[in-house]
Structure 1
């Protein structure tokens, strides 16, 4: 933790969602102090990271406690919604100043124009320089938001924040929906930031650029100096020590149990000996009675002492076990998804897509291939996946799927928000019994009451797991699974869980993603670039295509 003066302080903060939904993030007597520099805020999905950023930004009001932030705040939310009718200069927050400048340049010397401009005479130049820095130099200030892509919209919001020059910058999953080129620009902006920054992200490359890690877990923050790699190393040392303490505590409990058992055996022997002496009447009755009472008192004290020692040993074991992290992983068996090598899975013939992209000639996917589909935002990756899934008609050409196909879109809108997790899965597997569905959902970490929560109350990671469960447990089982930006909104533990789930999947896979690190982890066998046309590429070419700087 930095020794500089704090810029963000939370004191005795309490907050809970009004619906009281089980599993919803809440804070009780929460304390936080963040100093200058770049802080990476990490934690499991549902731990409250986004809620905390909204509290810091003033979008949510705590039930009690105080949030203090030194200076102006700039906030980039995870699910950014911009009015498509806004002009770019309006989205950047410079429209009024720009209009006043143009009025003055046209000869209108009204005092109100000079007041609106203030000292910001170079606002247009700064705006264009900032847009260029973020790879948005081609976007005219008079265009509307509806004319730019979702990723460009995120970068425009970041540009607006940089132009406003806030003292504190809060970023919630800023690389979601950004292609590799845009991510590179954002990394550069983060590297150049000299103020206070708190960034929530699952992007390893972004987290390598922070100065410290704040790990939010069970309503408390633990601090680690350095980047994410340094955090992982420190956590590994901590966990090794914690597991060692568990082994020591377990050995102590076993020893205390043996000592208590031995003490009880000895006391039983003494009792039998005393009874034998009493029966034989070898000493006066009053003496034997006194000895018997003394033996009972001594036995009681001895038993209490060993029982207390065993209780203390068990408490130490419980504390040691709590210090060991046991983040659940998805564990699934999907025997009916298997595709044998060489079997035909998908064929595309002379395919032309809506919005112009195309697949020239013949394209075939055979056997349990794992294909990475990469390319810039707006290149047509989602359009291609939706066309294969039968949700869009091609402009020309044919799509032939020879196996059952399931598609998981970015928006995760395969779920009905008004239905529970169990009910959503039942929609895809109507012949399965309620008990069978619940047993399968348990492997996706939806156990007991969690399976009865409405989909609309789930966190981003929970919603992803529920959507993935609905598709993988569908009948018939999918032998071609298509995922569109699957790591968006997932914490690092959930990304690992997804990777382990895909290891159990034996069908063919097409993944559209900008996360090269994740793509490498799921055993991609073929890399394809969509840039007007579909063509072969490599992971190395994809990474080299990312810009090195502004």
Structure 2
């Protein structure tokens, strides 16, 4: 494989409607290496992907493309009505149908171009990836989230593009579908950029690029190499910051000693001059020389102090950029070992019809696993009282809280700040802001309606309202909580859940996430 540049950013910046510049000018090239794009929530990864794909113009600079780019954004699936549209061949299939019905419109022939066999090619890929039961005319709403994403990925593979840009492609995919995705991408021999927080998927990349407000930084190798490099950077930044702080203290002490020494010399010189009965003009000249020396030393110190201040600011910014996200552990209402959930012969209204029996105590954490469509999300909604079970019974002892995949508890019109204050009126205003800041939510953005935030930022706002609510949580239900969360926040969530003393049921297809939680058991559906 040659590493010929396919996409090139030349001084690209992007300003938001409020005038805020999202990131510093970027000049970077993307070749045929499998590349992962990472960065904290809200930094602009998806927007940068749109610029690279040509669907969004930069505020400044330009993007050069030497080939055709196929872009799959993370909300694409929800906007499609048929399987053909999911595969991004809807217009071609419709034009073919019109031609077969007798249309001689040149526009239809232009749309089809050389893709007369597109239906057969897409169907062959559907068959190959275990989706042979799907027809191109089928309603997209009848598919599970994982099935829909797989169809969209198949559309990317048959697009004959020179470069693929995939935004969070593994979200909503079950374990088997994720493995198929990995194999599909490993078999792709052209340019590839994956915007993702999926550590397993990033482990298959050959290069990681990180987007920050300061621009783009490239790391050779997969996610593990990136993780080690970031840890080394943070260690070096902390060492540099400590060294500069020590240097500033030393400089301050040296200046004080210098001032005291100069003052003593000036006092001694004055006394000696008076004793020697020197003329006033000589005494004045000595004082002028002394003042000139003091002025020169002061200017030298001010210049050195300004330089050191700039170095300290830069070192501090480097440390702050990599400072861990903090999630405080929510209080559990029930003491350790007390029952929080009892399920007997429960039959779900959708998904697996096998009766479920389950007993969960406070402090016990369990994963709910299974293929897409087996009823994992349905189970959590039943336990939260949002859906009615078909048969059987269950009992929740204490307070239950559910975070679903779509953050339904989070009103779109409310800001993160207002939502958390509503969830816990007892928290002081300053404490609300502090906890949102510790989650990595920008001070200005916490006052915006959550509908204007990125997916990861909305998830953090919803999570804040859940774990910092006023009433203690006895049973915590989390549905795909790792979707959309940036990597530092994922680590914080894992640390917090490990320490949570209540009962936990978590639905996830993210194996790396589940492995780090050190769960007590798992419940498989299907």
TM-score, normalised relative to structure 1: 0.86
The residue number in structure 2 matching 1:56 is 52
Residue deviations 1:426-469 (CA, integer Å, cap 9, x gap) = 43345666566556545545575444232222222221121111
How much does 1:266 deviate? 0.8
Does the 8 Å contact 2:327/2:493 carry over to 1? no
Distance 1:304 1:4, change over 3 A: same
For residues 92 and 446 of structure 1, the distance between their equivalents in structure 2, rounded to whole angstroms, comes to: 35
Does the 8 Å contact 2:87/2:153 carry over to 1? no
Is structure 2 residue 27 aligned with structure 1 residue 31? Answer: yes
Does the 8 Å contact 1:338/1:505 carry over to 2? no
The residue number in structure 2 matching 1:323 is 318
User: Gaps (5+ residues) in structure 2?
Assistant: none
Instruction: Report matched runs for 1:248-327 at 5 Å.
Output: 248-324=243-319, 325-327=321-323
For residues 390 and 510 of structure 1, the distance between their equivalents in structure 2, rounded to whole angstroms, comes to: 15
Does the 8 Å contact 1:264/1:303 carry over to 2? no
Instruction: Report matched runs for 1:40-51 at 5 Å.
Output: 40-51=36-47
The residue number in structure 2 matching 1:7 is 6
How much does 1:120 deviate? 5.3
How much does 1:493 deviate? 1.3
For residues 314 and 439 of structure 1, the distance between their equivalents in structure 2, rounded to whole angstroms, comes to: 26
For residues 240 and 436 of structure 1, the distance between their equivalents in structure 2, rounded to whole angstroms, comes to: 29
Greater CA drift, 317-326 or 143-152: 317-326
The residue number in structure 1 matching 2:72 is 76
User: Gaps (5+ residues) in structure 1?
Assistant: 532-550
For residues 133 and 208 of structure 2, the distance between their equivalents in structure 1, rounded to whole angstroms, comes to: 35
Does the 8 Å contact 2:332/2:502 carry over to 1? yes
Match of 1:93 among 89, 96, 102: 89
For residues 508 and 150 of structure 2, the distance between their equivalents in structure 1, rounded to whole angstroms, comes to: 18
Instruction: Report matched runs for 1:525-536 at 5 Å.
Output: 525-531=520-526
Instruction: Report matched runs for 1:429-448 at 5 Å.
Output: 429=424, 434=429, 437-438=432-433, 441=436, 443-445=438-440
The residue number in structure 1 matching 2:332 is 337
Distance 1:19 1:265, change over 3 A: closer
Distance 1:397 1:158, change over 3 A: same
The residue number in structure 2 matching 1:211 is 206
Distance 1:247 1:109, change over 3 A: closer
For residues 53 and 330 of structure 1, the distance between their equivalents in structure 2, rounded to whole angstroms, comes to: 28
For residues 229 and 436 of structure 1, the distance between their equivalents in structure 2, rounded to whole angstroms, comes to: 35
Does the 8 Å contact 2:367/2:505 carry over to 1? yes
Distance 1:356 1:73, change over 3 A: closer
Does the 8 Å contact 1:92/1:156 carry over to 2? no
For residues 90 and 391 of structure 1, the distance between their equivalents in structure 2, rounded to whole angstroms, comes to: 30
The residue number in structure 1 matching 2:466 is 471
Instruction: Report matched runs for 1:214-233 at 5 Å.
Output: 214-233=209-228
Does the 8 Å contact 1:513/1:519 carry over to 2? yes
Is structure 2 residue 508 aligned with structure 1 residue 481? Answer: no
How much does 1:503 deviate? 3.6
The residue number in structure 2 matching 1:537 is none
Does the 8 Å contact 2:346/2:393 carry over to 1? yes
Does the 8 Å contact 1:26/1:219 carry over to 2? no
Match of 1:183 among 171, 178, 181: 178
The CA RMSD over aligned residues, in Å, is: 3.1
For residues 429 and 242 of structure 1, the distance between their equivalents in structure 2, rounded to whole angstroms, comes to: 37
How many equivalent pairs are there?
Answer: 524
How much does 1:202 deviate? 0.7
Instruction: Report matched runs for 1:123-162 at 5 Å.
Output: 123-162=118-157
Does the 8 Å contact 1:44/1:492 carry over to 2? yes
Greater CA drift, 500-509 or 155-164: 500-509
For residues 101 and 248 of structure 1, the distance between their equivalents in structure 2, rounded to whole angstroms, comes to: 71
What secondary structure sits across from 2:64 in the alignment?
strand
Greater CA drift, 383-392 or 120-129: 120-129
Distance 1:380 1:361, change over 3 A: closer
Does the 8 Å contact 1:134/1:186 carry over to 2? no
Instruction: Report matched runs for 1:447-466 at 5 Å.
Output: 449-466=444-461
How much does 1:198 deviate? 0.9
Distance 1:254 1:133, change over 3 A: farther
Does the 8 Å contact 2:82/2:137 carry over to 1? no
Does the 8 Å contact 1:350/1:396 carry over to 2? yes
The residue number in structure 2 matching 1:360 is 355
Residue deviations 1:270-299 (CA, integer Å, cap 9, x gap) = 111122123334434333332222222222
For residues 163 and 138 of structure 1, the distance between their equivalents in structure 2, rounded to whole angstroms, comes to: 19
Does the 8 Å contact 2:209/2:216 carry over to 1? yes
Residue deviations 1:115-160 (CA, integer Å, cap 9, x gap) = 9877656545432332234332332344332322111111111111
TM-score, normalised relative to structure 2: 0.90
The residue number in structure 2 matching 1:235 is 230
